[in-house]
């Protein structure tokens, strides 16, 4: 017999679970309605290996077996992804009268559309890898960048997560994104739109919000935030979802370490935002924003920023 009141604890936990499910209108005795983090991790590992088989795939792989490995791995990953998509859709539509066959068909179509984007995802990632290699004088090779740079790891995850988000699977997308967040300290919401050739130098502490739009060949340094300035609320005082509330960063912009850019402002093409500045207004194309320029424009005294 256990030295602990196990039966009492189990009974109390059951009651707490049932109370929560009742409050959330969950069906009693129903199937699991949420994707599995461990399975999603397996899917991501497989997809990463299939995208970069000779560098991020299994160590025993040889080039002559590359296509076989990619075919087998993608098929396995997509089947698992479809199962997890069914779980998410079952959860979202739990109050609807929808058959298991309809859920399967819906999930299959979404995952099929995702699968067709894999070549484009790989092509975009190649531009990100080259941007990191060309933008960092410490980088010795593109292979070092792909294997070692946290910014590239975060972008691999984002390039996978963003299409899932666009295809109406935001929970799966967020699980992929948060996997990268945990590994790298870089927090990119899967809804953010990011153009080709994106480079996060060092990367730690970067935060990019859901509705941010980033152009091509943009470079961010560590601790940069592209965030929301305020959260409009509905008649019940709850934050309104999905409104464009994060910055637009146009092509060829550089944002240095510690800068905070808030709200639906536009950082114009080719602009430079200096380190540790706080930006809540548009920045003209080609302009340079520094702490000194902000103090001058606002009539502030040194140390006021």
Residue 297 has pLDDT above 70, yes or no: no
Residue 300: the pLDDT is 45
Block residue for tokens 């792989």: 61
Q: Which residues of 17-44 are buried (b: 16+ CB within 10 A; e: fewer)?
A: eeeeeeeeebeeeeeebebeeeebebbb
Block residue for tokens 């740079």: 149
Stretch 66-93: mean pLDDT, rounded? 96
Encode pLDDT of 108-141 as tens digits.
Answer: 999 999 999 999 999 999 999 999 999 999 999 9
Encode pLDDT of 132-178 as tens digits.
Answer: 999 999 999 999 999 999 999 999 999 999 999 999 999 999 999 99
Task: Say how far apart CA 289 and CA 248 lie, in whole Å.
Answer: 16
Residue 236 has pLDDT above 90, yes or no: no
Which structure tokens are listed for 292? 């000194």
Could you tell me the pLDDT band of residue 21, with boundaries at 50, 70 and 90? Answer: confident
Could you tell me the pLDDT band of residue 303, with boundaries at 50, 70 and 90? Answer: very low
Stretch 212-235: mean pLDDT, rounded? 92
Residue 304 has pLDDT above 50, yes or no: no
Residue 247 has pLDDT above 50, yes or no: yes
Residue 29 has pLDDT above 80, yes or no: no
> To 10 degrees, the CA torsion angle through 47, 167, 246, 130?
30
Stretch 67-72: mean pLDDT, rounded? 97
Task: Classify burial at 113, counting beta carbons within 10 Å of its beta carbon; exposed 0-12, middle 13-18, buried 19 or more.
Answer: middle
Residue 209 has pLDDT above 50, yes or no: yes
Stretch 280-287: mean pLDDT, rounded? 97
Which residues face 214 on adjacent strands? 194, 249
Same topology, domains 34-185 and 192-234+241-305? Answer is no
Residue 88 has pLDDT above 60, yes or no: yes
Query: In the predicted model, what is the mean pLDDT of the chain?
Result: 92
Distances (CA, A) of 207 to 165, 170, 254, 262: 18, 18, 15, 11
Domain coordinates in residue numbering, the chain: 34-185, 192-234+241-305
DSSP state of 187: E
Could you tell me the pLDDT band of residue 305, with boundaries at 50, 70 and 90? Answer: very low
- Strands 199-201 and 278-279 come out as unpaired
Residue 95: the pLDDT is 73
Topology of the domain comprising 192-234+241-305: UDP N-Acetylglucosamine Acyltransferase; domain 1 (2.160.10)
Could you tell me the pLDDT band of residue 200, with boundaries at 50, 70 and 90? Answer: very high
> To 10 degrees, the CA torsion angle through 190, 191, 194, 198?
-20
Block residue for tokens 């298991």: 100
% of the chain surpassing 90 pLDDT: 81
Task: Say how far apart CA 278 and CA 47 lie, in whole Å.
Answer: 38
Residue 27: the pLDDT is 64
Could you tell me the pLDDT band of residue 9, with boundaries at 50, 70 and 90? Answer: very high
Residue 257 has pLDDT above 70, yes or no: yes
CATH class assigned to 34-185: mainly alpha
Query: 4, 24, 36: which is closest to 171 by C-alpha?
Result: 36
Phi and psi of 99, rounded to 5°?
-85, 155
- More confidently predicted of 121 and 291: 121
H-run or E-run covering 104: helix 100-116
Residue 301: the pLDDT is 43
- More confidently predicted of 294 and 43: 43
Task: Say how far apart CA 303 and CA 133 lie, in whole Å.
Answer: 37
């Amino acid at each position: 017999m256990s030295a602990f009141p196990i039966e009492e604890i189990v009974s109390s936990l059951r009651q707490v679970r049932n109370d929560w499910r009742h409050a959330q209108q969950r069906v009693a005795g129903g199937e699991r309605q949420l994707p599995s983090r461990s399975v999603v991790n397996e899917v991501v590992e497989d997809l990463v290996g299939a995208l970069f088989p000779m560098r991020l795939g299994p160590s025993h792989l040889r080039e002559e077996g590359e296509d076989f490995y990619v075919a087998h791995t993608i098929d396995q990953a997509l089947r698992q992804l479809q199962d997890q998509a069914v779980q998410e859709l079952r959860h979202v539509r739990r109050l609807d009268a929808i058959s298991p066959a309809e859920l399967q068909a819906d999930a299959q179509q979404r995952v099929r559309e995702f699968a067709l984007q894999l070549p484009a995802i790989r092509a975009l990632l190649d531009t990100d890898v080259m941007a990191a290699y060309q933008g960092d004088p410490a980088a010795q090779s593109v292979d070092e960048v792909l294997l070692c740079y946290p910014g590239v790891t975060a972008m691999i995850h984002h390039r996978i997560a963003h299409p899932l988000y666009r295809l109406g699977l935001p929970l799966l997308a967020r699980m992929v994104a948060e996997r990268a967040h945990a590994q790298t300290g870089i927090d990119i919401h899967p809804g953010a739109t990011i153009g080709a050739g994106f480079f996060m130098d060092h990367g730690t502490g970067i935060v990019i919000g859901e509705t941010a739009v980033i152009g091509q060949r943009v470079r961010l340094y560590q601790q940069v935030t592209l965030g929301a300035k305020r959260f409009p609320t509905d008649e019940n005082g709850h934050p309104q979802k999905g409104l464009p509330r994060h910055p637009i960063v146009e092509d060829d912009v550089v944002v240095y370490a510690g800068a905070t850019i808030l709200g639906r402002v536009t950082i114009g093409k080719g602009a430079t935002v200096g380190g540790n500045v706080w930006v809540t207004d548009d920045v003209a194309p080609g302009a340079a924003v520094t702490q000194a320029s902000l103090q001058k424009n606002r009539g502030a005294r040194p140390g006021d920023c």
